[in-house]
């Protein structure tokens, strides 16, 4: 695996910057820009763009205890972008997201959920939670993208560069190209070649990892045998 120091050294050479004696403790403005600004912007972009596999992608089990709201892990960034990212083990069906407060209030007030499991997310980075319509008493499986982008030499993943032997768990060439084009663009220099390289590499990595979507269960179930009544029966007029 590639260390973060090796990656930053290659980036610095492309940007005609002399590497510091230690990237972990560097304080010069140009080093801080590369390490804390452009590198982190690239990492954030990559985490937002794709559902990376483990250990960046995480499968997490919420053990239903009969309450509606559950705290999510501190490394939670976002749910993976697929129909089964929230999966109710009891109903054997995916959860249905609710994105607005008004819809949520109407859902709770009208009681139209029926056999479905609706949910909504709330909170902020490091303190997200998930609330369900109805209080689950069995497991809910979440597939999410974490904020993790590096690992220690011993294999412990994390979100902060703290040691010279820390390694990247994102593709190093992607991180390099993304950091370099951002640095060049901010300096008013030609950056289109590195920008194109970044997007080309991303497309290739994404297709190799997850992009083809050969298996798709999103439309597998139309009628479930265990649903003995309709999900919603309107009141009599």
Residue/partner pairs of 225-232 with CB below 8 Å, 24 or more apart: 226/92, 227/115, 229/114, 229/115, 230/114, 231/112, 231/113, 231/114, 231/115, 231/116, 232/112, 232/113, 232/114
Contact 117, 106 (CB under 8 A): no
- Kindly report the pTM of this predicted structure: 0.84
Helix (H) or strand (E) holding 146: strand 140-146
Please, which pLDDT band fits residue 23 given cuts at 50, 70 and 90? very high
Span 31-86, pLDDT tens digits: 999 999 999 999 999 999 999 999 999 999 999 999 999 999 999 999 999 999 99
Nearest Cα to Cα of residue 7 among 179, 172, 150, 184: 172
* Per-residue confidence (pLDDT) for residue 227, from 0 to 100: 52
């Amino acid at each position: 695996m590639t260390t973060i120091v090796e990656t930053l050294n290659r980036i610095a050479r492309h940007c005609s910057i002399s590497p510091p004696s230690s990237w972990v403790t560097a304080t010069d403005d140009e080093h801080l820009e590369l390490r804390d600004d452009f590198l982190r912007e690239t990492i954030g972009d990559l985490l937002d763009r794709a559902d990376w596999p483990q250990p960046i992608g995480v499968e997490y089990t919420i053990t239903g205890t009969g309450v509606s709201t559950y705290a999510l892990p501190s490394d939670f960034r976002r749910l993976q972008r697929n129909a089964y990212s929230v999966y109710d083990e009891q109903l054997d069906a995916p959860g249905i997201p609710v994105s607005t407060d008004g819809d949520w209030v109407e859902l709770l007030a009208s009681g139209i959920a029926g056999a479905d499991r609706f949910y909504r997310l709330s909170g902020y980075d490091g303190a997200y939670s998930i609330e369900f319509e109805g209080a689950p008493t069995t497991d809910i499986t979440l597939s999410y993208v974490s904020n993790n982008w590096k690992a220690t030499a011993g294999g412990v993943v994390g979100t902060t560069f703290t040691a010279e032997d820390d390694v990247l768990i994102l593709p190093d060439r992607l991180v390099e190209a993304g950091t370099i084009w951002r640095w060049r663009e901010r300096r008013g220099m030609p950056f289109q070649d590195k920008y194109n390289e970044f997007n080309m590499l991303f497309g290739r990595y994404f297709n190799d990892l997850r992009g083809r979507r050969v298996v798709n269960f999103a439309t597998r179930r139309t009628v479930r045998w265990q649903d003995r009544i309709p999900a919603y029966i309107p009141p009599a007029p």
